[in-house]
Amino acid sequence: MVNSDKALVSITRCSRYQYDELRNALLQLLAPFGGINALVSSGQKVLLKPNLLAAASPAEAVTTHPLVVKIIAELVIEAGGIAYIGDSPGSDSQEKAHQAAGYKKVMEDTGSKMLLLNAVSEVKVNGTEERIIPLAAELNQVDLIINLAKMKTHSLTGLTAAVKNVYGCIPGKHKKRFHMEHPLPLDFSRLVVDICLAVKPAFSIIDAVVAMEGVGPRRGKARQTGILLASGNPFALDAVAAEITGFMPEQVSTVAVARALKLPGSVLDDINLNDQLIDDYRIKNFDRGVVAAGKVSKLLANFPLAWFRNMLYARRPYPAIDGELCTGCGACVENCPLQIISFEGSIPDIDQYECIRCYCCQELCAEGAIQL
């Protein structure tokens, strides 16, 4: 086990989702922390919290791959723990999303159980500000949370990795309310950082064996990067994820907020990579999507005045529906936090005067019919 005052981030390679190769890579990833036995004690209830954005198949790279979830569940059980799998998706029922992502099969294979996140337990947190967070009450039933994130671009925060993944610990309707109350990326990311401080995942793993680039987090392109990352510190993990994908730290607004708060591990100098070189893991030509495109992002990164940055953020693009791709499923209508999308004939129509550009509709459209 490595001893250092710096936040330890482990990083390793795994070329594909093949059981033996992935299990060996995950064991190697956990080794600098003392292995799973240093994390999980006998009898402990452990929640595995994947990225379960929506009911999507593993091939779409929207959700944490089920083989990652399966192997970590096996390791938890081998250590004497009791494994649960749970997340509150942005759309679709929890049952349907678990089924589509392959987690129901993981439960059958490993004996792990589903933890439905429905009830609310209010938790006070003092992070970017003192506030009350409505976390899923069911989190109180477990002893620790292992955060199993997927590395994907994100139209609002730049990148979703370990920190943003905890947003799924907020039960359904409150997620929509928060999007409505915090439409600007920095405000939303302050909230997400506070949620992460409230959830306190004991350990985080990022599945980037196949990541998502481009128009993430729902309809980007799957990109094989062959990388796994892990840390007890989700802020350090995301600082490394932002670096290897080629983002400026300020472009990933959750990383920017963590740095502004001076959270341990939020800058690379505070991170111990266990003798690995970050240059060996940089992903060439990673398509960082809309947040990193164009000159505005450079201004956002470099301009010191928050009000000016927010003004630039306010010039973000509006969503538009492509009638050729739209199937009329109604998911955008149902999930718009402002309820400003309505059906005009067979294709929905967005009231752009009211739109706050939270991009929930674009995030949750399974057809890729909503473009920015």
Q: Which residues contact ligand SF4 (rule: CB under 6 A)?
A: 319, 321, 326-332, 336, 338, 340-341, 348, 350, 355-361, 365, 367, 369-370
Using the minimum distance from each CB to ligand SF4, give the nearer residue, 186 or 369. 369
Identity of the amino acid at 231: S
- In whole angstroms, the minimum distance from the beta carbon of 168 to ligand SF4 comes to 18
For the chain, the C-alpha Rg in angstroms (whole number) is 19
- Residue 180, burial from CB neighbour count under 10 angstroms (0-12, 13-18, 19+): middle
How do the residues of the chain divide into helix, strand and coil, expressed in percent and rounded to 5?
A: 40, 20, 40
Coil vs helix vs strand at 35: coil
Using the minimum distance from each CB to ligand SF4, give the nearer residue, 130 or 324. 324
Residue 278 and residue 227: Cα distance in Å, rounded? 12
Residue 188 and residue 308: Cα distance in Å, rounded? 17
- In whole angstroms, the minimum distance from the beta carbon of 269 to ligand SF4 comes to 37
Residue 92 and residue 75: Cα distance in Å, rounded? 29
- In whole angstroms, the minimum distance from the beta carbon of 221 to ligand SF4 comes to 18
What sign has the CA pseudo-torsion 164, 169, 175, 181?
A: negative
- In whole angstroms, the minimum distance from the beta carbon of 156 to ligand SF4 comes to 9
Using the minimum distance from each CB to ligand SF4, give the nearer residue, 247 or 359. 359
DSSP assignment, residue 248?
A: -
DSSP assignment, residue 251?
A: G
- In whole angstroms, the minimum distance from the beta carbon of 325 to ligand SF4 comes to 7
Using the minimum distance from each CB to ligand SF4, give the nearer residue, 19 or 318. 318
Give the residue among 147, 190, 188 at the shortest CA–CA distance from 169: 147
- In whole angstroms, the minimum distance from the beta carbon of 291 to ligand SF4 comes to 15
- In whole angstroms, the minimum distance from the beta carbon of 362 to ligand SF4 comes to 7
Using the minimum distance from each CB to ligand SF4, give the nearer residue, 311 or 320. 320
Using the minimum distance from each CB to ligand SF4, give the nearer residue, 206 or 361. 361
Residue 180 and residue 177: Cα distance in Å, rounded? 5
Helices (H), 226-347: 234-244, 253-260, 289-292, 294-302, 306-313, 331-335
Instruction: Measure the CA dihedral 284/285/291/292, to 10°.
Output: 90
- In whole angstroms, the minimum distance from the beta carbon of 182 to ligand SF4 comes to 12
Q: What φ, ψ does residue 15 adopt, rounded to 5°? A: -80, -25
- In whole angstroms, the minimum distance from the beta carbon of 9 to ligand SF4 comes to 33
